[in-house]
């Protein structure tokens, strides 16, 4: 296969995966003899980003075509860091041991991490049909760099996301699949829901996701019909929200609005987040919240609308924010 064809294939794949406008004229040019086309355009963006860590967005890669950032969690290897499971498959069952390493640019397992949201590494596990979400904190063997944790695994393919910041490097979210043996029956598509029940709690979601814009999401927690006003901090906030895109499980950044000790953020019933999604379509949101010493998870499926045209007034969206999304 000739190099131009490889590069074109790479760009087409990027366009298909991320649905973004493709500037073929600029991106296809002289390339070196890299074994895959991925070396060319993506690598330049990484270099430009190196050393400009801002503490919060390092797991989103710049798109060489538009300068926008890719979501995290789609790649097993990024910026020289690679997520490697000790075993690529597991038996089904409760408390199944799972172990992995993050290898660094020198090829050795990373043993030094910065604490973010009170932990050195956050592991999100969800079956690819959005069943069985778990947000856990593995234990690091600082001698070997091996992380271990027990997961409750049902048959099927699970996506594992490691969200971490190796000391001296950018924050990253790497993703890999874990095959779990057994009789797999995929769940049907989740219907859209804005109210989720977990134990005696009900959580409602207000706010609309819009492609290419920051959306304010307000999650309100009630217990037995009474608003909960004494939520407990969990990972430095009154809630921790994970958003995954339907189809490819892109792991999206969600920023909590306020912290427990900032003097203005109340311990419920409302917990506010800002989420930016890159494209229209369905998203799966998982809210972890803590009350009476127990962490529970409320799960939602919501649709993101297309970018709002610039001639339509909106208080959550501006032409400047949506102008880059020519693909929509
Ligand atoms: Cu965590």
pLDDT tens across 295-326, in order? 999 999 999 998 766 554 545 444 444 443 44
Strand pairing class (89-90; 171-180): parallel
Q: How far does residue 129's CA lie from ligand 1's centre (Å)? A: 21
Q: What average pLDDT does the segment 227-251 reach? A: 95
Q: What is the pLDDT of residue 52?
A: 34
Q: How far does residue 135's CA lie from ligand 1's centre (Å)? A: 6
pLDDT-derived band at 37 (thresholds 50, 70, 90) equals very low
Q: How far does residue 282's CA lie from ligand 1's centre (Å)? A: 23
Q: How far does residue 122's CA lie from ligand 1's centre (Å)? A: 4
| Position 27 pLDDT exceeds 60 | no
More confident residue, 186 or 29: 186
Q: What average pLDDT does the segment 43-64 reach? A: 41
Q: How far does residue 161's CA lie from ligand 1's centre (Å)? A: 11
Q: How far does residue 315's CA lie from ligand 1's centre (Å)? A: 32
Name the E strands within the chain.
Answer: 77-78, 81-85, 89-90, 93-103, 121-127, 134-136, 139-141, 146-153, 156-165, 171-180, 195-198, 201-206, 214-223, 226-227, 240-245, 251-252, 254-256, 270-276, 281-291, 294-304
Contact 116, 165 (CB under 8 A): yes
Q: How far does residue 306's CA lie from ligand 1's centre (Å)? A: 30
Cα dihedral angle (294, 295, 301, 306), rounded to 10 degrees?
Answer: 140
Q: How far does residue 285's CA lie from ligand 1's centre (Å)? A: 15
Task: Please name the residue that has the structure tokens 């097993």.
Answer: 76
Q: What is the pLDDT of residue 220?
A: 97
Q: How far does residue 29's CA lie from ligand 1's centre (Å)? A: 42
Q: How far does residue 193's CA lie from ligand 1's centre (Å)? A: 24
Q: How far is CA 218 from CA 178, 234, 273, in A?
A: 33, 17, 6
For each of the domains in the chain, give its residue range(s) and CATH number, in order of start.
3-49 (no CATH), 80-180 (2.60.40.1080), 195-322 (2.60.40.10)
Q: How far does residue 56's CA lie from ligand 1's centre (Å)? A: 15
Q: How far does residue 124's CA lie from ligand 1's centre (Å)? A: 8
pTM: 0.75
Q: How far is CA 175 from CA 84, 92, 104, 130, 230, in A?
A: 9, 20, 15, 15, 34
pLDDT-derived band at 3 (thresholds 50, 70, 90) equals very low
Q: How far does residue 294's CA lie from ligand 1's centre (Å)? A: 15
Q: What average pLDDT does the segment 223-246 reach? A: 94
Give the Cβ contact number of residue 142 at 10 Å. Answer: 11
Give the Cβ contact number of residue 156 at 10 Å. Answer: 21
| Position 46 pLDDT exceeds 50 | no
Q: How far does residue 201's CA lie from ligand 1's centre (Å)? A: 21
More confident residue, 278 or 43: 278
133 DSSP β-pair partners:
none
Structure tokens belonging to residue 323: 């102008």
Q: What is the pLDDT of residues 119-171, one digit of tens each?
A: 999 999 999 999 999 999 999 999 999 999 999 999 999 999 999 999 999 99
Q: How far does residue 116's CA lie from ligand 1's centre (Å)? A: 9
Contact 320, 310 (CB under 8 A): no
Q: How wide is the angle at C-alpha 275 spanned by C-alphas 165 and 61, nearest 5°?
A: 45
Q: How far does residue 322's CA lie from ligand 1's centre (Å)? A: 31
Q: How far does residue 138's CA lie from ligand 1's centre (Å)? A: 9
DSSP 8-class letter at 39: G
Closest CA to 149 of 83, 86, 94, 98: 98
| Strand, helix or coil for residue 136 | strand
CA gap 297, 199 in Å, rounded:
10
Alpha-helix runs per DSSP H in the chain: 3-18, 24-27, 40-49, 319-322
Q: What is the pLDDT of residue 254?
A: 87
Q: How far does residue 236's CA lie from ligand 1's centre (Å)? A: 10
């Amino acid at each position: 296969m000739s190099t131009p064809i490889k590069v074109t294939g790479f760009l087409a794949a990027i366009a298909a995966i991320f649905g973004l406008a493709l500037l073929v004229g600029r991106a296809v040019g002289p390339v070196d003899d890299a074994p895959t086309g991925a070396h060319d355009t993506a690598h330049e963006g990484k270099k430009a980003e190196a050393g400009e860590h801002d503490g919060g967005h390092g797991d989103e890669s710049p798109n060489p075509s538009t300068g926008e950032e890719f979501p995290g969690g789609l790649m097993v290897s990024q910026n020289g860091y690679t997520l490697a499971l000790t075993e690529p498959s597991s038996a089904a069952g409760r408390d199944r041991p799972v172990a992995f390493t993050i290898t660094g640019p020198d090829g050795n397992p990373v043993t030094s991490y910065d604490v973010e949201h009170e932990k050195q590494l956050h592991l999100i596990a969800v079956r690819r049909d959005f069943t069985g979400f778990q947000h856990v904190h593995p234990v690091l063997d600082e001698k070997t760099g091996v992380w271990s944790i027990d997961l409750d695994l049902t048959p099927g393919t699970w996506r594992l996301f490691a969200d971490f910041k190796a000391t001296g490097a950018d924050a990253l979210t790497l993703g890999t699949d874990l095959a779990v043996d057994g009789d797999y029956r995929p769940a049907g598509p989740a219907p859209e829901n804005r109210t989720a029940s977990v134990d005696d709690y009900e959580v409602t979601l207000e706010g609309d996701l819009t492609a290419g814009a920051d959306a304010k999401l307000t999650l309100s927690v009630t217990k037995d019909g009474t608003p909960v006003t004494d939520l407990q901090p969990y990972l430095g906030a009154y809630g921790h929200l994970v958003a995954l895109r339907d189809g490819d499980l892109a792991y999206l950044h969600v920023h909590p609005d306020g912290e427990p000790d900032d003097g203005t953020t109340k311990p419920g019933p409302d917990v506010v987040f800002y989420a930016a999604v890159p494209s229209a379509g369905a998203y799966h949101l998982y809210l972890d919240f803590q009350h009476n010493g127990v962490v529970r998870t409320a799960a939602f499926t919501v649709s993101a609308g297309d970018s709002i045209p610039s001639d339509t007034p909106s208080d959550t969206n501006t032409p400047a924010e949506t102008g880059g999304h020519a693909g929509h």
